[in-house]
Structures are given as structure tokens and as C-alpha cells.
Chains A and B, each alone.
Chain A
């Protein structure tokens, strides 16, 4: 066989377990595992991990409406550099993704760019204003499987219940950005010793926990698949664990920055450490790291949120919320959590693909599947300094990270490689 691409000497996450074996790709699919075949291109993994391409359940690509921060092309390039083969874009664009044709626009732009699969979440309410349901059926027909007003909570419990009832029937996921607006109003960072010292208004962990507690009651009522976005506190994790113990179909995600940093880092007032939810106390961070390791948290999601330099060259209080994360995510997670290979791919690829219902993503390597792959060296160290994202608001700039994405393969094509020959 003449293959297009060989990945040699990898430690591969196959359907039958972890094996040190060569892979061969032809016509965009895994053509052979093991054996020896000619290939047009060869990637020498040199012992690095080879597994399903990473899947991000939560990123902001800013198109349409804020293309000076990012667009689907630059976001896809950043994703490829970060080892991702699929992204779920959040619907808080301008306009918000509240109708079928807008969802189709996003996925079609992703297809044109061709560096990874771009799925989109749909808004729960029209224009994300929390007042009336969006075109839920139309969005579902356009392929949307995750619904959220991310950037804000759906505050109206009656409206959320209605959305949950509709979407439970379909088998869609209702995802919540949990933030009680009254408790978080004017807040800049985690409410605690550091915010008190700095004189910055705090956002208590309760702002997140209160919304999650209410939503879990609604999820119990409606039977919907409920997903908590970017969890930040030990209390939220406890609420989710209790609900799961009672058999509710509840999942959650955590960002790399909440695994890596706590509110001490805000002392320097660098806007690259401003986000919602805020970096919380060291004890919260420790609980999140433990929760990701033991599976109480299903997914790492980046919450990649680009903002242009002119928007972040302001004081901390004036800076917009959110930081970029696609290019540093895998490394940041390894640095903070040292996950074994199975857990790493479970949290960063397999579980997010299942939640987003992306059938060609997050699959253990097997003959015949589409070749969506990442080559990740869990030991190599590097320090992020430049980004493919159009924006540079990264808290990981200048941080020594362990673990490096060596190559990314999307549908058999190499979309990023440091080791190609």
C-alpha cells in the first residue's frame, strides 16, 4: 500500500489499548495500524502520544461581528496549532446564533477554512437577551446539539424550564454559564482575601453555585442533559457530584486557566488574568485538579476568548473578560494535572466529542475511522510567546509549560506539524 501519511514510533491510544505502533493514513482514513508501508509524508512521533484530535467544547471565534478579535480562519489556525480537530463555537457573536441560517453560516465557514471541524452551539434565547426562546428546532435541524446563552446565564427559571423541556425531547444538551447577575454585579475577581486587599469588588463563588443548584433542580424536573460550563469552585463540583450520584445526566467542563492559576495571580492586575468565572482560591483550584483527574469533571474546555491588544491595554477593571487558550490548552493541562494518556484523551477529546455528538471526533485509533489525530509529547517543555490567534491575551505567555503538540492531522491532512519530513 502507498499511504499518504505515516506516523511512526508513536505511543498510540488504540481501540484495543495503548500500543507503540506505526499508523498509516490513506484517503483521509486510518488505513493500517502496524505493518510497514510506503508513505508520501512521515511524522516521527519519537515516543510521543498519538490519539484522537482534541475537541474543544467551548470557544469564542468572534465571527460574525467582532472579526478584529478573531475569525473562523484565525481561530481554526490557533486550534490546529493547539492539537484540536474540532471546536464548538459559542453563540455570543454579533448577531447571536439564534436561528438555523446563522448556525449553517458558522459550520460552512469552518468547512471552507478546512483546518478543523467547526460546530456551533445555539443560543437558548433570541439575541441572548433572556426574554424569548430562540429558534430551537431550526437550530437542531442545522446540526446544533449544545444550547447556551454563554456570556450570561438564562436567569428566568420559567424560560429555562421551557427550553429544557423542548431540548430534552431532542436529546440536546443545555449548557449553562452559571452567573447570578445580582451577586456578580460590578465584580472584577474572586471575592476573598486578595480582592479585599486590592479594593476590587469581588465575585463570590456563590454567584456560580446558586445558579447551578437551581438548574440541577430544573434538570431533575425535565430530564434534560445538563452541562455546566467553566466550573470554578469546589462548591459547584460538590453540587454536580451529588447530582451525578443520584443518576442525573449532568456533565461539566473546566478551563486550563482554572486548573493552572488561583486568585494570587490577580495581585499584579494584569488583564490577561481577568475572566469569568474568576480565578478562585487555591483550595478551589486543588479541587478542580483532583476532579479532572478522578473524572468528577468530564471535560477540559478552553473558553478561548480573544480580545485585541487595544482592548486589553487598559486598567484591569476596564479590561474585557476572557483570555485565549487554544494554543496552550493541552500543555497547560499537563503542567497542572500530569494526566496519564487515557485520562488526557478522555477529558480533552473523547468526552467532549460525545457531549457535542461529533461522530467523527474523539475516537480511539482504529482502522477505517477518519484520521483526526494529535501527536502530543507529554514531556517536552516550551514557553508560549507568540500566537496564531489574532489576539494575544494569554495568561500563559511566559509560563514554562510541560507537554507540547507536535502535530495535528484533520481528516488525513497535516494541519500543524513541528516534526514532518
Chain B
């Protein structure tokens, strides 16, 4: 593995290797000194053209737990706001000593583009509505911890699939690990052509709930670059939001997930978010160990 740009770059064995390594790092993070000296002297650059404090902090925590140094680059704190290009930014960071790049950008293919410009490995930290592979890996790890394996699990992904990089990477990762994925959304929020996706589709959350092991709720935003995509968030919440009553329609051992940040009351009500069947905090914790595993695999060999 030279870069991690898309789940499509990984086969099942490679995904499972990363999950196993991530599980080992999870136990490191539970020690008194949650740190290994593995990457001392190496430098991780986080290049976040699109703001995301949560994801950036998760990567930086992962880097520091591996004893790597961190260079953090984000609009508002750098010349990016003055119009410096993505290319100039990453070339400057590489010249300054960055060994690995974590790239988050609103444009599809941004991380892949960076991989063509720099010598070091690149991790896609989210590119437009395309891919967010470390999210998919941490979600897979969370499910593996809960269920032992993903084979045969029925996962419903609910919400704005069309504009979601989380959905695209999770569909690929979950199905590669043997799960069945159902997309649950009103049709304007589904990709126009699903022929390349190994999924089933449902227009009704309530119809789907009784046969799901996992309800994965995506963050929904009313505005996307080119204008409104929903009549209103309130209407969406009524049809596709997860509430106490719908939680009871799930099988007893089913779980609820969300990549965060949550619009409480829209995708998920407060009591559901805080229910024992919600894995939201496990997801956050697994974010750090999963990113440690990815960084380690990309830099550890050399």
C-alpha cells in the first residue's frame, strides 16, 4: 500500500490486516502512557482545505501516539486563504520535511491529485462526495468489535447518499467484508445511477428497520454547493430520523451509528444518540487507532 486514497484500492485481506493492527493500537491507547516510539523523527502533515476539526484532531492524535511530529495546514491559519494552490501548498510542506500527507478537500480526487505531485504517501481524509476511507475502516472496526465479523450483517445506510463520501467508502468496505448494504433515502438523495453499487434500496426507514443489524445515519445538510436539496430538515427528520419509537422497531441486538457531527433532532434524537445501542462514541475512539494503523502501514516499513 503506497497511499490510502479509496477503499477500492484495498482488498479484503488488506482491510482485515488494517483492522487487526488498529485493534492492537486500541490497547496501546488504553495504557497509562498511550504512546509508542515507532515513528519518532517522522512528520505527518495534515492539509485540510475543508474545515473539519474532528477528523484533523483524530489524525493528529494518531500521529502523536506514534511519536511522529505534526504539521497542520488549514485555511485561516495559512496562506491558503490568500489563494495559494493545493499543489504549491503540498510541495512547500514536502520541502519543509513532511513525510506523509493527510488531505481533506471539497473536490473529488484531490488526494489522488496530491499523490501525483509529492513523493511521500498520501491519506485521503475526505474528497468531496467521493471517498473517506479511514472513516469506513473505523466503522468496520467498530462493527467487528461489536459483532465479531461483518459477514452476513445487514447494514442500512440512511440519508444523503448522493452527496456522501462516507456512504461511498462504507458501501465498498462493508460489502467487501461480507455485509449486505441497504440504502434508505428519498430518491433525490440517492445517486442517479446505482448500477455500479452492490446494494439494495429502500424508500422507507420504518419498512427496513425490522430486518437491520445496523442503522448507519448520515449527516444531512439542506444546502449543497448548487442549492437546496431538501424541502426542509424538519420533514426529513419526520421520515428518516431515528427516534425512540423507531429504535424499538429494530431487532434487539441491532446498533445505531453516525459519523458525526450529529444534527440532533434531525438524523437522530438526543435520547437515541445517548442510548447504549448507539456506537457513536466507539466510532470516535476507533478513529484514532484506525488512523494509527494506516499511518503505521504507510510509513512503518521504511
Contacts and interface: CB of A to CB of B under 8 A. Distances in A.
A190 to B, nearest CB: 10
Interface stretch (B13-21, B64-72, B101-109, B140-148): B101-109
A47 to B, nearest CB: 42
Given A185-B227, A269-B108, A317 B128 contact: yes
Interface residues of B, number: 31
Interface residues of A, number: 24
A196 B187 CA distance: 13
A21 interface: no
A198 B87 contact: no
B87 A192 contact: no
A317 B110 CA distance: 9
A319 to B, nearest CB: 9
Given A199-B129, A199-B165, A199-B168, A315 B113 contact: yes
A399 B113 CA distance: 21
Nearest to A202: B192
Interface in B126-175: 127-131, 162-165, 168
Given A185-B227, A199-B129, A269-B113, A317 B108 contact: yes
Given A199-B130, A201-B226, A315 B110 contact: yes
A200 B85 CA distance: 21
B226 A196 contact: no
A204 B192 CA distance: 10
A195 B112 CA distance: 17
Interface in B88-138: 105-110, 112-113, 127-131
A197 B196 contact: yes
Interface in A185-244: 185-186, 188, 191-202, 204
Nearest to A194: B196
A196 B85 CA distance: 27
B201 interface: no
B108 A196 contact: no
A313 interface: yes
Nearest to A204: B192
Contact of A315 (B107, B164, B195, B225): B107
Contacts of B109: 198, 269, 315-317
Given A196-B192, A196-B194, A199-B130, A313 B108 contact: no
Nearest to B169: A199
A204 B191 CA distance: 13
A318 B107 contact: yes
A191 B226 CA distance: 15
B113 A200 contact: no
A132 interface: no
Contacts of B194: 196
Given A269-B108, A269-B113, A185 B226 contact: yes
A162 interface: no
B253 interface: no
Interface in A272-294: none
Nearest to A191: B192
Contacts of A188: 108
B130 A198 contact: yes
B193 interface: yes
A110 to B, nearest CB: 34
A419 interface: no
A314 interface: yes
A331 to B, nearest CB: 27
B86 interface: yes
Contact of A192 (B131, B163, B164, B192): B192
Interface string B185-214: 000000111111100000000000000000
A200 B192 contact: no
A199 B193 contact: no
The 10 closest A-B pairs by CB, nearest first: A199-B129, A186-B226, A196-B191, A269-B109, A315-B107, A317-B107, A199-B130, A193-B193, A196-B193, A315-B110
16 contacts: A185-B227, A191-B192, A192-B192, A193-B195, A195-B193, A196-B192, A196-B197, A197-B196, A198-B108, A198-B130, A199-B129, A200-B108, A269-B112, A313-B85, A316-B108, A316-B109
